[in-house]
Amino acid sequence: MKWIEHLKTINHHKYLVMELCFKVGLYKQGLLHDMSKYNPVEFLVGARYYQGTCSPNNAEREDKGYSSAWLHHKGRNKHHLEYWIDYGLQEGHDMVGMKMPLRYVIEMFCDRVAASKNYRGRDYTDADPYNYYMNSRSHYIIHPDTAALLEKLLKMLKDNGEDITLRYIRYKILKHQDTFPY
């Protein structure tokens, strides 16, 4: 019954993201995070390729050469950097990362922390989201400002822990987002 385990994984991930988003004051985003994962286009693929230790999208990608679930997901969820890839205006920059709105960068941070907690389980440390990002960032197409803020928050989490980082996000970034230098 892989579909039940997949559903549990999705629900647990959504709960973790919701908890983190609520702590920083992003209530609507916490409630609506990753709703597309319940769409049959994503859910049925996830159930079929469920492994429990990493995203089923990777297994679908290995099997088919692409992930239909991921292509659907990234196009509907603004907290993914891939949503913000577009054609650049400068010659020689075919595809570039657009600067993400601040609230989606914060949701992306929460998503990465929750995914690490979900897949690492009891082995999770606050360094895991940072390490995962650093190991993967070479292939990202991401706006430099977005990357800088995400890296800053992931490093802060690694160095100072979740409570301090979430308070910083809530009271320094989101509370002053109109004047925050992003």
pLDDT band per the 50, 70, 90 thresholds, residue 178: confident
Residue 35 counted as domain residue: no
pLDDT band per the 50, 70, 90 thresholds, residue 159: very high
**Nearest alpha carbon to residue 33 among 24, 177, 119:** 24
pLDDT tens profile 10-52: 999 999 999 999 999 999 999 999 999 999 999 999 999 998 8
Residue 98 counted as domain residue: yes
pLDDT tens profile 71-103: 999 999 999 999 999 998 887 768 999 999 999
Residue 59 counted as domain residue: no
Q: Which range marks the domain in which residue 120 is found?
A: 80-174
**Nearest alpha carbon to residue 45 among 11, 73, 21:** 73
The per-residue pLDDT for 161 is 98
Q: What is the mean pLDDT of the chain?
A: 95
C-alpha 41: how far from chain center: 19
Which residues, listed in sequence order, are joined to residue 171 by a DSSP beta bridge? none
Rounded Cα distance between 49 and 24, Å, is 33
The tokens of 157 are what? 């989490």
Residue 86 counted as domain residue: yes
Residue 99 counted as domain residue: yes
Burial 146-180 (b: 16+ CB within 10 A, else e): bbebbeebbbbbbeeeeeebbebbeeebbeeeeee
The domain total for the chain is 1
Residue 30 counted as domain residue: no
- 140 phi, psi to nearest 5 deg: -75, 140
Residue 164 counted as domain residue: yes
The per-residue pLDDT for 92 is 74
Residue 55 counted as domain residue: no
Average pLDDT for 151-171: 98
pLDDT tens profile 103-146: 999 999 999 999 999 989 999 999 999 999 999 999 999 999 99
